[in-house]
Structures are given as structure tokens and as C-alpha cells.
Structure 1
Amino acid sequence: MNTKSIQRLAFFLAIMAFSFQSCEEKPKPPKIKAPKQIIDYEYAKELEDEYKNTRSAIINKHLGIEDTREFWFDLEELKKYIAYVEQEADSLGYTRLGIRIYNGAYPKEKRFHDPGYSTVFLVPTGNKTKSKASFSPISSTFVINDNIHEIPAYNYGHAGKPPKNVN
């Protein structure tokens, strides 16, 4: 075999080895279990119906409009907000993070997103451990689960006008 043939054969074998190596299947991430707090749509509809028949009816009558009662947030934007909250809360010393959801309403002034309509906004929460004053040589702590005012709240999802029903 001449030198040129050996070089071609070596090149071909190298390409084949690379091709087989890149075809390896990547391991699948572990399956995520459903959280304990999930509810089925039948129960969700029951909750929505109760809201519509009690609170929503009164609000709509008082305002003279069919107010918003459902809100949509982009999942990728929510993930970014959650990652931002985790980053900022970590630097502030918070643990056991959460999100508190507040009802709100836009003032009727035109400078607001949906003047006169309801909204919801998210506020990050967390626990910050603080030492209690004590004469005991054993340190004791208590935990505060509160809004993290150093991190901005999150708003401006899309409100249903007219609202969409669960079912």
C-alpha cells in the first residue's frame, strides 16, 4: 500500500470514528413528578364558577364592565423573572423563596396599561434567618417569611377581555 492510500484510509477511519461517536444518545433528564398542589379541571371550573357567581358578578355590576378575571403570562418570561429573583435573593441572604400573587386594579387614568381593569402582580417572598437576643450559649433563630422589597414585583401579563373560562 502506498503512502497516499494509507493517508486516505486513516482519514476515512477518523471520519467514521467521529461519526459514530457523535451518534451516541444523550441521557434523558429525569421525569419531573407533578406537584402536590395540582388540581384537575373539574375542580378548577368549580372554583371559577364560585368566583364568577359571587365576587365577579358584584364587581362587574359595580364597575359597569365585565372585568378581567384571568391573566396570561409568557412562561419564558416567568422563568427569567424566577431566575432573577433567585439570583437577587441569594445575594440578599434569603432562602425558601416563593411568589405571592396580589390582586390589583389599574387606575382609570389613560397612562396605565388597562385603565379601570383588574390585574395581578407577583411579589417575591423569602425567609431570612435572624438571631434572637439571648443569654443562652446555644444560638436560637426565628424565620421571617415576608415580601422581599429589595426585588421588584412582576406585572404586565395579558388580561382576557372578555375573560376566558377554564373550560
Structure 2
Amino acid sequence: MKKLSYIILGFIIGAVLTYYFCPKSIDTETMETKVKTAEELVRPDGAIEQDYAQKLNKNWTEYREPAVDSAAQRQGREKDNRWTEWSLEELEEYLVYSQGMADLLGYKMNGVRVYLGVYGEDSGPKKKNLTTMFIVPRGKKKQEAASMIPFSFQNRNKNLPIDPLNDGNGGSGGYE
């Protein structure tokens, strides 16, 4: 009988831990209660107006598109990629993965960096020599709690040794 009580206790503890540590899906009702009105939203630093984003894109088209597209034409392409997109689910999944890997490797992830890249000759006919963008997690090495020196001049943000996110959908159209 004593062994049965341990088994039941184990199931109860397992159920409680599963409830708290397993990812929960977000439904729209939860999101609606989270964000009740537009007045409660705080615009993040760095957010820019739509008109300014269109101006930046227009400037890129004026100053960079001819050079970029002429390089693409030398490679046998009419136009190069101008943007890359990932779904919200892909980004959330990648950020959770990156933060988990950073913790396992002893880093504190505190941001991401977006890099431009170019697929090579061996990337297949759809991607051959096209521009791509990929996301790289950034952060610092965690400090030991018992350290004699609680800070380090060498411990600055750097790219973390975690696989970057690539393979977004790219295209050549302007800002829409």
C-alpha cells in the first residue's frame, strides 16, 4: 500500500510540473484580454512611422537597387531579393530555441542581429546568387555568482555560438 501512495504522489507531482513547464498555446481570447485597448499599448523605442519606412525604402531603391540589380544581372538574374520574411510562429520558435541554447551554453541572450548574405553557385536554381538575410542571437557570457569580480571588461555583446535562422521567404518588390 505504501508503494501505491508513492506512485500516486509521483503522478500528481508529474501532472503539476507538466502543467507549469509545458508550452501553452495562445488562443485569440487570451490575446484579446491581454490587449484590451490601443491606449494601453506602449510604442517601443525604435518604431518608425509608415511614411518614414516608405522613404527609407524609396532611398534604397534610388541609391542601391541599380547596383544590386546590375550585379544580379551579371549572375543571370533579373532582380535580387530586397526583403526576407518569417512567420510570427517561426520567429517565436527560433527565439525560444536560441534562449534555451544560450542558457545551456552559459550565455545570457539579450538581442539579435540581422545579417545580409548571398547564396552561392551551389544553392539551386531558385536561390542561386540571390541575397538572403539571417538572424543571429547576441549576448554575453553569464557571470558566476561567486565571482570575486562581478563584472568584466571583456564580457561585451557578441554573436552567440547558436545556429542562425535563415530560409525566410524573400522577394524583390518594394515596401508595401
TM-score (norm 2): 0.67
Deviation of 1:79 after TM superposition, in Å, equals: 0.4
CA gap 1:95/1:77 in 2 versus in 1, 3 angstroms? same
Distance 1:138 1:153 in 2: 32
Q: Aligned residue for 1:146?
A: 158
Where structure 2 has 5 or more consecutive residues not aligned to the other structure, the ranges are 1-28
Counting only pairs closer than 5 Å after superposition, residues 16-31 of structure 1 correspond to structure 2 as: 28-29=33-34, 31=40
CA gap 1:138/1:113 in 2 versus in 1, 3 angstroms? same
Distance 1:37 1:98 in 2: 14
Q: Over residues 32-55 of structure 1, what are the superposed CA-to-partner deviations in whole Å (9 max), with x where a residue is unaligned?
A: 522111111111011111111112
CA gap 1:110/1:33 in 2 versus in 1, 3 angstroms? same
Deviation of 1:112 after TM superposition, in Å, equals: 7.1
Q: Over residues 110-150 of structure 1, what are the superposed CA-to-partner deviations in whole Å (9 max), with x where a residue is unaligned?
A: 5475112110011111112569xxxxx7654233200012x
**1:95 aligned partner, one-letter code:** K
Distance 2:61 2:173 in 1: 12
Q: Aligned residue for 1:164?
A: 173
The counterpart of 1:54, out of the listed 63, 66, 90, is: 63
**Is 1:120 equivalent to 2:133 in the alignment?**
yes
CA gap 1:95/1:113 in 2 versus in 1, 3 angstroms? farther
TM-score (norm 1): 0.70
CA gap 1:115/1:141 in 2 versus in 1, 3 angstroms? same
Q: Aligned residue for 1:68?
A: 81
Q: Aligned residue for 1:101?
A: 114
Q: Is the contact between residue 101 and residue 123 of structure 1 (CA under 8 Å) also seen in structure 2?
A: yes
The counterpart of 1:35, out of the listed 31, 44, 49, is: 44
Q: Aligned residue for 2:6?
A: none
Deviation of 1:85 after TM superposition, in Å, equals: 0.7
Distance 1:124 1:107 in 2: 23
- Between Structure 1 and Structure 2, the one with more helix by share is 2
Q: Using the aligned pairs only, state the percent identity.
A: 29
CA gap 1:124/1:112 in 2 versus in 1, 3 angstroms? farther
Instruction: Note the aligned Cα RMSD (angstroms).
Output: 2.5
Q: Is the contact between residue 118 and residue 131 of structure 2 (CA under 8 Å) also seen in structure 1?
A: yes
- Aligned residue pairs: how many? 135
